[in-house]
Structure 1
């Protein structure tokens, strides 16, 4: 059986970001409502609450504000996820908080996103949070950015207002690594340019938001060149019918695997060939990200969880000294030089020590504070990390899976930081 990326309906993960009250919840509610992705009872409940509050309209923001209220009561995972689909594509929305104290949650929501929508209130223009969220999206290598200038109805659908905000944002984004930027004027409350083009802004000649989400090209964002297959589990059935079966299960991080391909196993350095690739639905002729598969090899090699399968002449760096950008997520203790932590990288777990803090980054001004001695909650900086065992890494800009890691407090077992590898040796 051959499976190719075009055989399945594409799935787009996107995150929404913006300042408080810029209309993120209303935008998501409008997308769900206009694509008919709501159950009747959900819509009736929102209409009833809107009427009870005295709203003169159906307040679609209530579709996600329920979770937002839960977050304000102290729930740990502060990113609300919503799902919907159109005939062209499936979507997962990550509604990330706008407050500065939730920077860590913004990082969580955007780390797996293919696209980020940055909302700006047309009346206020770009604010500090807008620039901060754009920088975080750039840092996290989100391939596509959409600037949604919302509440255009409150500025009389002015082209001058939209152009000024779009130009200012484009000049700021030029300082960042933002390969694809699109600006769209919208009114989430009225549905202008959300699902269909609005006749109230005839001067705007671009696509509606949904049309852009459906057609933005994400297939080329995947790294199909560098084969990276971290082994998660060794499958060795005890059944007498399959005594000779030995497979290595995991998720393809990048590249394409096919039976007959010559592969290199790290850290042992032994080479062999792929005998077959199995899935829950049976054997396949190729595997590509983000498929979860079991790989069978022609030779019996000692492979364990944390090992990695790649190409002989295209291997990741085997490194113990790592330069990385880190977002600190722990409110109880800061990151400091000399701190010892557990490091989780793909399926491999090691211990590490912070050898140096090069600088702390002000994500509003992009200023580097080289005199900083620690990183507090939600702060971002560049560190040098030394691990007890080698990690099999790529630069984050080349591979978000093998280039990212999390930092864990060994005492509390709590995730205290997220890292993006800049260089390794």
Structure 2
């Protein structure tokens, strides 16, 4: 069973996070260069620019710092997605900014990631930002975490310095819910331990960063037990050839669906059997996350956008009360009695914020239970009431059916992201 694309090649999504000058852009540039994911004219342009600046090396950060504001300020202010592939796996990199004022961007980039890559400068070691990145990745239930200790060449490739940082970060990670942590010493500028093992660090017995990215096992990370199929679109072709065709299109959010399975349509409670599963011009024997398919049912039941197809004996919770962690993304603070829209999978409903339980300090993990509002880029736990029932799971069980976005009903702008808690 593939975990990625229709071609059978695995797809790994990973989010990078690091403080300013930790070398994140250089690392991504190195991965793109050494995996031959850039064109010769791009490389020539970067080499020329580096030479014009008086550098005696190729400034690989120029490959990724493409925004004018980045070049002027030296900081990355948005989420940039990069693509590259090796013979073993395809990759999508969410390059997220490290500044505290861009926490919302990091949440966006990490929300769909299979792996989180946190960079620290070997000279600086753990910083407040490093801890915040680890907390956010843990909260978002990113299954795998890599700490890349960069700029090892500037500390003489010291094993002692690496072990200090490794021990400190590992101790901090134990306080969080980090199921899989790998720590790798690298020099992105020189290429040590990025694609190939470094001769300068023969004391390190682990794999290179790219080797780890290629081989980290993500097959068990997807929710394959609980069938969840949010209906996005009802397919009823108008041509005479398909006048009897009625299918329900969407992306599988959990479980494995097969023809013959007995299912229930929520919230109506009507039951039926899967007659067929269609993808483009062929029928499939099964469908699983994250495949986009069209499901046909044996019975003519009423199904519309926003409904969810599940197993009869394994259903999500139907509720109008949401208890959730919120990352607030709007300049105007979130306060009790605020009226918003909640978009959960393919269903959008009106919502009222009942109360704020606490605001979370992601640096210290302190819960401020006296907080009366949640400001821009802050996280907190809230209770909400929605107008119509939603079919939800806990976020820790399913990152798709356990999450939602908050929308300003007046402007239509996304103002927050939420994770359902128990």
Flag whether TM exceeds 0.5 (same fold). Answer: yes
Q: Is the 8 A contact 2:65 2:71 kept in 1?
A: no
Which residue of structure 2 aligns with residue 266 of structure 1?
A: 266
Tell me the distance in 1 between the aligned counterparts of 2:182 and 2:292.
33
Q: Which residue of 1 aligns with 2:283?
A: 283
Q: Which residue of 1 aligns with 2:350?
A: 351
What are the residue-to-residue correspondences of 1:312-391 with 2, within 5 Å? 312-331=312-331, 333-391=332-390
Q: Secondary structure at the match of 1:354?
A: strand
SS of equivalent residue, structure 1 residue 319: strand
Contact 2:236 2:247 in 1 (8 A): yes
Q: Which residue of 1 aligns with 2:46?
A: 46
Aligned to 1:100: 100
Q: Corresponding residue for 1:223?
A: 223
Question: By how many angstroms is 1:411 displaced?
Answer: 0.8
Deviations 1:165-213 (A, max 9, x none): 0110000000101000000000000000000100100110000000000
Residue of structure 2 in register with 1:33 after alignment: 33
Cα offset for 1:281?
A: 3.7
* Deviations, residues 24-50 of structure 1 (Å, cap 9, x unaligned): 000000011111111011101111111
Inter-partner Cα distance in structure 2 for 1:263 and 1:311? 5
8 Å contact kept, 2:3–2:289 = no
SS in 2 for 1:133: helix
Stretches of structure 1 that go unaligned for 5 or more consecutive residues are: none
Alpha carbons of structure 1 residues 35 and 232: separation in structure 2 relative to 1, 3 Å = same
Instruction: State the alpha-carbon separation in 2 of the partners of residues 230 and 24 from structure 1.
Output: 36
1:77 to partner: Cα distance: 8.1
> Deviations along 1:258-310, whole A, 9 cap, x unmatched?
00010111001111100000011411111011100000000000010000000
CA displacement at 1:69 relative to structure 2: 2.8
1:418 aligned residue: 417
RMSD: 1.6
Q: Matches of residues 104-183 of structure 1 in structure 2 within 5 Å?
A: 104-183=104-183
Q: Distance in 2 between matches of 1:263 and 1:71?
A: 54
- 2:353 touches 2:385 (CA, 8 Å); kept in 1? yes
Name the CA distance, whole Å, in 2 between partners of 1:401 and 1:71: 35
Aligned residue pairs, count = 419
| 1:67 shift after superposition | 2.9
What are the superposed Cα offsets for residues 346-395 of structure 1, whole Å, 9 maximum, x if unpaired?
00000000001000000000000000000000000000010000000000
Give the secondary structure class of the aligned counterpart of 1:66.
coil
The alignment partner of 1:69 has SS state of helix
Contact 1:71 1:77 in 2 (8 A): no
C-alpha separation in 1, matches of 2:70 and 2:366:
35
Deviations 1:122-141 (Å, cap 9, x if unpaired)? Answer: 00000000000000000100
Contact kept? 2:3, 2:218, Cα under 8 Å: no
1:241 offset after TM fit, Å? 1.1
* SS of residue in 2 equivalent to 1:170: helix
**Contact 2:151–2:187, Cα closer than 8 Å, also in 1:** yes
SS in 1 for 2:64: helix
Note if contact 1:71-1:78 (Cα within 8 Å) is conserved in structure 2: no
Matched, 1:302 2:326: no
> Is the Cα contact below 8 Å between 1:321 and 1:387 reproduced in 2?
yes
Distance 1:150 1:4 in 2: 33
Deviating above 6 A after TM superposition, structure 1's stretches of 4 or more consecutive aligned residues are: none
Q: 1:103 to 1:5 in 2, by over 3 A?
A: closer
| Secondary structure in 2 matching 1:336 | coil
In 1, are the aligned partners of 2:336 and 2:353 still within 8 Å (CA)?
Answer: yes
Gaps of 5+ in 2: none
1:67, 1:80 within 8 Å by CA — same for their partners in 2?
no
